Structure 1
Amino acid sequence: MIDIIALRRDLHEHPELGFTEFRTATKVVQMLTELGYRVTYGKDAIDDTSRRGLPKPEVLEDAYQRAIHEGADPAIVQQMRGGFTAVVAELQGEQEGPTTAFRFDMDALPIRESKSDKHIPQAGQFRSSHEGIMHACAHDGHTAIGLALAERLSDRKFGGKIRLLFQPAEEGVRGAYAMVKNGMLEQVDRLFCIHLGTGVPSGHVRGASAGFLATTKLEAHFTGVSSHAGATPEEGRNALLGASTALLNIHALPRFSTADTRINVGILEGGTGANIIPEHARMVIETRSTSEETNRELERRVRQIIEHSASMHELSSTVEVIGGAVPIRCDMELAELAVQQTEGIAGFTCAEAISDGASLGSEDASYMIRRVQEQGGKATYMIIGSELPAPHHHPEFDLDEAVLAPAVELLERLARTLL
């Protein structure tokens, strides 16, 4: 029987960034295969050309080699080489019937984990062994829940099919879109996505979430001409100056009367020396809105600013989408069922159909939810509460491990009830 806390701690100790989850995904494949699931992974589980924000080849290769060094099965991980770290498992029950799916994200964040003695992973000796990378958003808990659920359902005592989706690269909203494009959500009748924490206390469950924003993440490159900044400045074309012009004008975009909006330039970098006109600059931008249409308009204006800022300084520019999400509309039928199924589960004391506050974040599970709904199915994004010693994406983030087992029981009940 899976020790869910030990499994979560193992995953916490070995965090991996988006599209580099080689060790994690290999462990998922191994465990699901042993449980009798039909497992799809590597290039069969995710569309190559639809992956967004893929790390540089050398980063992918370093992470791949590290996973092998840490014991990843070479035959399995070889199929994931190059960042193909999605895993999808399916199990047929005793009779034919509908397909119920559950989605779990696996990736960590580029955060240096705290070494404070009061930080439980440090005190318990399962702090990240990959310096500068940390599970600071509970995805280690999500993956552990998914594998424990797989074990519970391996008896096949249900009608229909179970499909388990282990997604890479949720951070930066990058991985789900490519799984959808590869057909991993086809013929799904119901889909449950979960998240631990998010301000909801331990013992509380929210069957649905509201307020997720549409978003687009963009990476822009400005290319000019380098020159000596003192001797021949007129011969140069300053890429960093063009990017700075774009930055100021992007942040000067007006608010909208039709929807709430957010915009941010999160990265601006360029140049190689004080006496050199910068030849290249890189900028990473995000747009967000409560309205998908408004977010598209924000993106159009950002692209226009980048193009004209480059032209103003006689530069060339390129823009690439490196992430994205759409708003989430949960089906209340599933949310209310989740509330009903919490009854009698030890550890749950309060359940509500919908979260009482808007998240104002973004989630690329939105693409999976939308695809299921497009096919006439139902989907929801659930919150399972967890007390947190520090906020999500913080060096001292940790989760309440006591919520893991009740979460598995709730998902098992939902699966068996619907099948």
Structure 2
Amino acid sequence: MSESIRDRLSDVRREFHRYPEPAWCEFHTTHRLVEELREIGVDELAVGTEAYDSDDRMAVPEDDEIEQWYERALERGADPDLLDTMAGGNTGVVAALDKGSGPTVGLRVDIDALFIEESTADDHAPAAEGFRSEGDGTMHACGHDTHMTWGLAVLEAIEESDFEGELVVFFQPAEEVSGGGHPMAESRFADDLDYLFAVHVGLDHPTGKVVAGIERPLAMCHVDVTFEGTSAHAGKAPEEGDNAMQALGTAIQNAYAIPRHSEGMTRVNLGRAEAGTASNVIAERAHVAAEARGETTELKEYMKSRLTRTLESAAEMHGCDVDIDVVSESPRADSDAELAEIVADAAHDTHGVNSVVPAADFGASEDATFLMERVQEGGGLATYLIVGTDHPTSHHTPTFDVDERSLGIGVEVLRKSILAVAADDP
């Protein structure tokens, strides 16, 4: 048997960091996870469509992008037979340990990276110490390399423990685009979960601090919008055109004028736009990537409907057609206080933890809420905990990094929490 994962946490995390892959393209990542899981010796290993229904995926990229990452994984030495099971971007893996009668406990960790070019600065540890991203334009800038390491190490620790029950670990693709939580939640592996732990590193909480359960994550939706107009010569016959760029501009201006709601926080943003071909051509096409969020799922639906109406009105005003595609979305789900209390007790008993917060507002969005909601609707308990880390700059920046002291802390908090729910389960 190879060296224990818990004895090489830093090495495992750094390897994942070197080879980041974006949503639904995590081919090499899944390959390495499977290699480690086979070494641990789990009782069930489900990859891609063995783990979920492909039709339940959201925010799936174009085939040519998926193929590029597939070929890159092949070049890096990924198992061709295993890659075949992930064809079409069906990445990710679910691993299960069956250790007798007892509760079924789930742990969800995410595996995808971001389209960010990692810093080459001398004071950026991954660059200075030789584990900077080797995927041009992609980076583990949100700590998912740490999350995967935790998932593997916790599985190993529980396999070697006296835990009684079943542990299911979801190595979920496509969190950054809110595309992978839904298929995991709809899968057979989520059918009978009594408890679910989801976890994140950092989020502006320092090393040694643990938040036992988040509250008020924002429900959200990502929307891709295309305006179709009519091109014309901008000097000779502008009246013959229907200007998609004008429709886009009207939509941007009016989206930010959508009334906020008295029942809670609401958000809207149009974050990326492009239109037109030349200065003397009336733009016949424009595209914008937008999002809407709400403090509750209902408030998200309010913002989504108002945003849709705004986009349609802008298109009509300028004689254009508009295609609105909700590419992904996620609900709100709060942590259960009862399960968060178990996490807090485990954290208090973990070396390196010096501050434990029972609950904290999240303020952002997460598609782990699909799994949380599924478990809670079935009568189970769920919590989303945060293991703090000192990170020199914010998440989603080129110089993001983690304090590797947090690796061992996260493993122990999760291990002790899982053992505690099994011991307390009637």
Q: TM-score range by the shorter chain?
A: over 0.9
Deviation, 1:49, is 2.5
Q: Which amino acid aligns with 2:273?
A: L
How far residue 156 of structure 1 moved from its aligned partner, in angstroms, is 6.3
**CA distance 1:311–1:30, change in 2 (3 Å):** same
Equivalent residues of 2:267, 2:303 under 8 A apart: no
Whether the 8 Å contact between 1:102 and 1:165 is mirrored in structure 2 is yes
Match of 2:375 in 1: 372
Which of the residues 386, 399, 409 maps onto 2:402? 399
Q: Which amino acid aligns with 2:58?
A: R
Distance 2:56 2:282 in 1: 35
1:383 paired with 2:389, answer no
- Is the 2:26–2:111 contact (alpha carbons within 8 Å) kept by the matching residues of 1? yes
Q: How does 1:3-402 map to 2 (within 5 A)?
A: 3-37=8-42, 38-93=44-99, 95-155=100-160, 157-355=162-360, 358-402=361-405
Equivalent position SS for 1:141: helix
Structure 1 residue matching 2:91: 3-state secondary structure: coil
Q: CA deviation at 1:10?
A: 0.5
- What are the Cα deviations for residues 271-309 of structure 1, in whole angstroms up to 9, with x where unaligned? 111122222111111111112212101111111111121
Q: What amino acid maps onto 2:416 in structure 1? A: R
User: Given residue 392 of structure 2, which amino acid in structure 1 is its aligned partner?
Assistant: P
Q: Which runs of 5+ in 1 are unaligned?
A: none
Mapped contact 2:59–2:178 kept (Cα < 8 A): no
| Alignment: residue pair count | 416
Deviations, residues 45-101 of structure 1 (Å, cap 9, x unaligned): 2332232221111111001100111111111111112111121111100x2221001
CA distance in 2, matches of 1:180, 1:83: 18
Using the alignment, how far apart are the partners of 2:331 and 2:349 within structure 1? Answer: 35
Instruction: Read off the aligned partner of 1:347 and give its amino acid letter.
Output: G
Q: Is the 8 A contact 2:216 2:334 kept in 1?
A: no
1:133-166 superposed Cα distances (whole Å, 9 cap, x missing partner): 1111110000011111122122363211000001
In the TM superposition, residue 359 of structure 1 has moved relative to its aligned partner by 2.5
CA distance in 1, matches of 2:63, 2:167: 34
Contact conserved, 2:113 with 2:142, CA < 8 A, in 1? yes
C-alpha deviation, 1:417, in angstroms: 2.3
Q: What amino acid is the match of 2:80?
A: P
Q: 3-state SS of the aligned residue for 2:323?
A: strand
Runs (4+) of structure 1 exceeding 3 A deviation are: none
Tell whether the 8 Å contact from 1:52 to 1:321 is kept in structure 2 after alignment.
Answer: no
Superposition CA RMSD, Å: 1.4
Checking the alignment, whether the CA contact within 8 Å between 1:46 and 1:86 is kept in structure 2 is no
C-alpha contact (below 8 Å) 1:22/1:64 kept by paired residues: yes
TM-score (normalised: structure 1): 0.96
Change (3 A) 1:182 1:224: farther
Change (3 A) 1:255 1:344: closer
Q: Could you give the per-residue CA deviations for residues 203-257 of structure 1, whole angstroms, max 9, x where no partner exists?
A: 1111111231111111111112222222332222221211221111111111221
TM-score (norm: length of structure 2)? 0.95
What secondary structure sits across from 2:103 in the alignment?
strand
* Contact kept? 1:113, 1:133, Cα under 8 Å: yes
Conserved 8 A contact 1:86-1:179: no
- Mapped partners of 2:206, 2:348: distance in 1: 17
**Aligned residue in 1 for 2:418:** 415
Indicate the SS of the match to 1:96: coil
Shift of 1:259: 1.3
Counterpart-to-counterpart distance in 2, 1:134 and 1:91: 31
Q: Is the 8 A contact 2:27 2:73 kept in 1?
A: yes
Secondary structure in 1 matching 2:56: coil
CA positional deviation for 1:104? 0.4
Structure 1: how far apart are the matches of 2:162 and 2:217? 35
Change (3 A) 1:183 1:320: farther
Which letter maps to 1:73? D
Structure 2: runs of 5+ lacking an equivalent: none
Bigger Cα displacement from structure 2, 70-79 vs 173-182: 173-182
